[in-house]
Structure 1
Amino acid sequence: MQTFKKVTAETTIQAPIEKVWKYWTEPDHITKWNNPSDDWHTPFAENDLRPGGKFVSRMEAKDGSAGFDFGGIYDEVKLHEVIAYTMGDGRKVKITFKEQENEIEVIETFDAETINPIEFQKQGWQAILNNFKKYVEQTNN
C-alpha cells in the first residue's frame, strides 16, 4: 500500500456552523465556490453525504481546455464536525469543522498525489478553500 504525504489547507470563516456545513455539502452551493481561480468552474456536482455515499464534482477550465471529475466515497460523516473520504485513486481526505465563538475553522488534510509538486497541490486546495470562505461570507441565504 502506498504511503502519501499529508498536506493541510485551512481557513477561518465568519459564519454559523449550519451555514458553513450547508454550503460545503449541498451541490447547488458547491457549483458556486468549488474552483481555484476565476478561469475555472464546477458546472455539475452531486453529493450523497453519508458513510459509503459517493460524491462527484465536474471541474473545468471555462475555456474548455481542461477538465476532470473530482470524487470519492465517504468514510465518515459527523454532522457539523467531520467529513472524511477516499478518492478514486485511494488517497484520503479529512475535513474538520471547529466551532469557536462566531467563527468556524475549516481544516482540510489530504494525501498528496505524486505527479505535481506538493506546494503546487497545497496552493490549489488552499485557493479553493479561500474561495469557499469568500462565498460563505458574501452570500446571504
Structure 2
Amino acid sequence: METENKAAITVETTINAPVKMVWEFWTEPEHITKWYQASEDWHAPYAENDLRPDGKFKTRMEARDGSVGFDFEGIYTDVQTYKLIEYVLGDGRKVSIVFTFDDNVTHISETFDPETVNSVELQRGGWQAILNNFKNYSEATV
C-alpha cells in the first residue's frame, strides 16, 4: 500500500526508571537484543551500536521461525547523552528520539519519517509496539 501522507510519525512512552538506566537499556547491544521486537513472534538476535555522530548501528530483526529477517541500520547524526539521539536510516529517512526526565521517571518521544510501502497506521503501531516492549523490559529490569 502506497502512503500519501509524508508527515512525520511520533510514538511516545513514559518509563518508571531513571534516565541513566533508560539510556543504557536503549543504547547497549546486550539490552537492545532483549526488547527490540514488535511482537513475540519476532526477535533481535544481534545488535551493534557505535553511539556517536557518524557512528553506525545495526540490529538484526528476524521472525522466530526463521522465515524472514532484515537489518535495521543507520548512521547517527546527533547524540546528546540522556537527551537526544538522531539518525538517518539507510533509505534516507530521519529519526529523532528525545529523552526528558525528572527523578525516576523518563519520557521518550520518538519521531520518524514514514516509509512508502506500509500504511501510516501500521508503521505507528509497529514502532509503538517496540517502544512498549522497551518500557516493559526497562521497568521489569529496574
TM-score past 0.5 threshold: yes
Q: 1:29 aligns with which of 19, 31, 36?
A: 31
Correspondence for 2:49: 47
Question: Deviation per CA, 1:47-101, whole angstroms, max 9, x where unpaired?
Answer: 0000000000000000111110001000000000000000000000000000024
Correspondence for 1:63: 65
Distance in 2, matches of 1:15 and 1:101, equals 8
**TM-score of the superposed pair, with normalisation by structure 1:** 0.95
Distance in 1, matches of 2:80 and 2:7, equals 25
Specify every segment of 5 or more residues in structure 2 that has no aligned partner in the other structure, as ranges: none
Counterpart check, 1:116 vs 2:133: no
Structure 1 runs, 4 residues or longer, greater than 2 Å off: none
Correspondence for 2:94: 92
User: Residue 54 of structure 2 aligns to a residue in which SS?
Assistant: coil
State, as a whole percentage, how many aligned pairs show the same letter: 59
Superposed displacement of residue 130, structure 1: 0.1
Distance in 2, matches of 1:84 and 1:137, equals 24
What amino acid sits opposite 1:126 in the alignment?
Q
What amino acid sits opposite 2:50 in the alignment?
D
Is the 1:4–1:91 contact (alpha carbons within 8 Å) kept by the matching residues of 2?
A: no
**TM-score of the superposed pair, with normalisation by structure 2:** 0.95
User: Residue 71 of structure 2 aligns to a residue in which SS?
Assistant: strand
Specify every segment of 5 or more residues in structure 1 that has no aligned partner in the other structure, as ranges: none
User: Residue 78 of structure 2 aligns to a residue in which SS?
Assistant: strand
Aligned pair count reads 138
